Amino acid sequence: MTATVARSEWDTEERRELRALVRRFTEREIVPSLAEWEDAGAMPRALHRRAGELGLLSLGFPEAAGGEGGHLDSAVATEELILAGGSSGVVAGLFTHGIAAPHIALHGSPELVDRFVRPTLRGELIGSLGITEPGTGSDVAGITTRAVRDGDDYVVTGAKTFITSGTRADFVTTAVRTGGPGHRGISLLVIETDRPGVHRTALRKMGWHCSDTATISLDEVRVPASNLVGAEGSGFRQIMERFGSERLSLAVQAYATAQRCVELTIAWATQRETFGAPLSTRQVVRHRIAQMARRASVARVYVRDVFERWEAGEDVVTELAMAKNQAVEACDWVVNEAVQLHGGAGYLHGVEVERHYRDARILGIGGGTNEIMDEVIASRLGLD
Ligand SMILES: Cc1cc2nc3c(=O)[nH]c(=O)nc-3n(C[C@H](O)[C@H](O)[C@H](O)COP(=O)(O)OP(=O)(O)OC[C@H]3O[C@@H](n4cnc5c(N)ncnc54)[C@H](O)[C@@H]3O)c2cc1C
């Protein structure tokens, strides 16, 4: 018997086992119910508990906060969840803690870690990240939600919008203004959603239907000052610190979605017959699928390379922005062609490529838009 040799960091024995675990979980516990959750507009809490039991929510979190494994493990889980028939919408809703909890794990007090991070990694709590407001999205430094100190509390007033998992969240890691204008006046405060003055409204979207999204208004919400994450005024730095992993996760979702659509289209084109022969025998179709596969592969190789360098601590701010845009561009192109090659079937609700087509549209908007990524690149190229 030949010994199995890891071909890359992404393909070690442990990561192959992780892939197998995620594939089983996705095929058995997600795929059969996904259409129902898409129509319901949210996923059940029980799914978080199950993912917690399997250790999938702990990936990428420090051991000191109840985590295990590195960011690469969490990327492997994301890839496999999509390749096994899940979706970026499932990743967004089930792994929201990946954007909501790291700040607390890294900069929060031990008490905050015990109250919010550990139970979230066990799947017992759901967290959200509240940065975007009705008046500002890309310009994070422009947020206006205000937290005014009053004794041992802050009193918070403002609104957050487009908040992933916002209708189900037990707590929101919220960007608030505790100081003057600009980025130095921003802090992060954990706000429990059962506090008086928190009101939530569900938003309907083009895609990511199984991932609930909310506008959260905060009307003089009294929050203990001990819920502050890190020092006052450190919020913007903490947010920027975490943008790297969010952007990489979205890039992984993009190339994995593209790869899944390549596979679905190959399966379709080999069995669908037109004019007496399978679609896969037509040169124009074969070449289109070859191009889809090429774009998905090139995006995967580039994003994985940047991912490894980022995890090793290299300064890859420019490459990270390039990776996100490259993967999103590949994904947008591939999902469009996948729908096209499925013909009318590709336009039907419930057909997998239709879902990926709608879900993919957010990847170039969330976590820093395509334009903001280009701004980052231009600035690092010395064009300021
Ligand atoms: C489904 C979904 C889930 C989301 N989840 C969350 C979440 O969990 N938490 C959270 O805080 N936010 C979340 N967001 C918000 C998301 O991060 C923002 O939508 C995004 O950052 C863009 O902000 P905006 O919508 O305000 O657009 P704007 O900033 O108003 O931008 C509008 C357009 O102008 C372009 N633009 C802006 N500034 C410039 C510039 N200087 N130069 C050139 N072009 C520019 C943008 O690229 C975009 O095309 C979510 C959004 C969606 C749709």
Atom of ligand 1 nearest to the CA of 205: 1
Best residue among 38, 97, 143, 162 to mutate for probing ligand 1's pocket (most ligand atoms within 8 Å of CB) is 162
Select from 338, 262, 245 the least CA-distant residue to 298.
262
Select from 170, 106, 82 the least CA-distant residue to 363.
82
Task: Estimate to the nearest angstrom the gap between the alpha carbon of 246 and the chain centroid.
Answer: 6
Provide mean pLDDT across the span 174-195: 98
Q: How far is the CA of 187 from the centre of ligand 1 (A)?
A: 20
365 Cβ below 6 A of ligand 1: yes
Q: How far is the CA of 165 from the centre of ligand 1 (A)?
A: 17
Confidence tier at 135 by pLDDT (50, 70, 90): very high
| Cα 91 from Cα 356, distance rounded (Å) | 13
Q: Provide the annotated active-site residues.
A: 246
pLDDT surpassing 70 at residue 5: no
Question: Is the whole model's pTM more than 0.85, yes or no?
Answer: yes
Measured in residues, the chain has a length of 384
Render pLDDT for 247-271 as a digit per residue (tens, 0 to 9).
Answer: 999 999 999 999 999 999 999 999 9
Render pLDDT for 296-343 as a digit per residue (tens, 0 to 9).
Answer: 999 999 999 999 999 999 999 999 999 999 999 999 999 999 999 999
Q: 7: which residues sit within 8 A by CB, 6+ positions away? A: none
Residue 59 is given by DSSP the state B
pLDDT surpassing 90 at residue 280: yes
Handedness of CA 341, 342, 346, 347 (dihedral sign): positive
- Burial of 335 from C-beta contacts in 10 A (0-12 / 13-18 / 19+): buried
Helix (H) or strand (E) holding 103: helix 102-107
Q: Are 175 and 140 in contact (CB under 8 A)?
A: yes
161 Cβ below 6 A of ligand 1: no
* Helices 71-83 and 235-271, axial angle in degrees (round to 10): 30
Which of helix, strand or coil describes residue 11? helix
